[in-house]
Amino acid sequence: MIKPGNGPAYTVVGKVAALLFCFVLIAWATPITSALAQGGGKARIYVLRGSALPGAIYDATVLLNDVKAGSVANGSYVAIDRPPGRYKMKIRFTAIDLSPPEHTFHASAGHTYYFSLNSAATPFYLGHGVFFSVPGSNMGKRVGEHNPLLSSFHIGQLDARAGAAALAQFKAR
């Protein structure tokens, strides 16, 4: 019979138990530390960008109240922490973007907001009366303003559940 504290079996079991305890503790603490990192009375704003082909070669610059807050490439997202308040978000592709999509919203402390940069399908004329359509992307409910004559991009807003689910499919920027 193996007595407590003696032999290699107790050493291995003890190490395995300690290792499992550490994994459980890390898994449990990750959402809490994420919330604390966001804490300090700030709002977390995610801007996601799908993998649509229109504009794929350009990074999009996210502006909050006309100040650069981050950028997103195709298939990525940016997380932005800001104090509560009213924000006008614009998403530009170049410094001379004639009509960037924009959306004004109020951010509250401790809340998380999910926005997406979407693009309309873009037709290309191939000649001889033949058109080819490049598919766009459409996540969330369309919000804000955009001029469809000058830009095929618009902003969508996702609810918390859809935003969290979509976030898992993208890469952090």
Q: Where exactly are the structural domains of the chain? A: 1-38, 43-172
For residues 57 and 144, give the distance between their C-alpha atoms in angstroms, rounded to a whole number.
24
- Whether residue 1 is predicted with pLDDT greater than 90 in this model: the reply is no
pLDDT for 22 beyond 50? no
Lowest model confidence (mean pLDDT) among 3-7, 62-66, 86-90: 3-7
Mean pLDDT lowest among 83-87, 139-143, 169-173: 169-173
Largest CA distance in the chain: 88
Which tens digits make up the pLDDT trace of 100-138? 899 999 999 999 999 999 887 666 677 777 776 666 677
Confidence band of 28 (pLDDT split at 50, 70, 90): very low
Q: Is the pLDDT of residue 63 over 70?
A: yes
The Cα-based distances of 93 to 78, 97, 118, 166 in angstroms read 15, 6, 13, 22
CA-CA distance, 15 to 163, in Å (whole number)? 39
Per-residue model confidence (pLDDT) at position 95: 62
Residue-averaged pLDDT of the chain: 77
Rounded CA gap, 138 and 162, in Å? Answer: 13
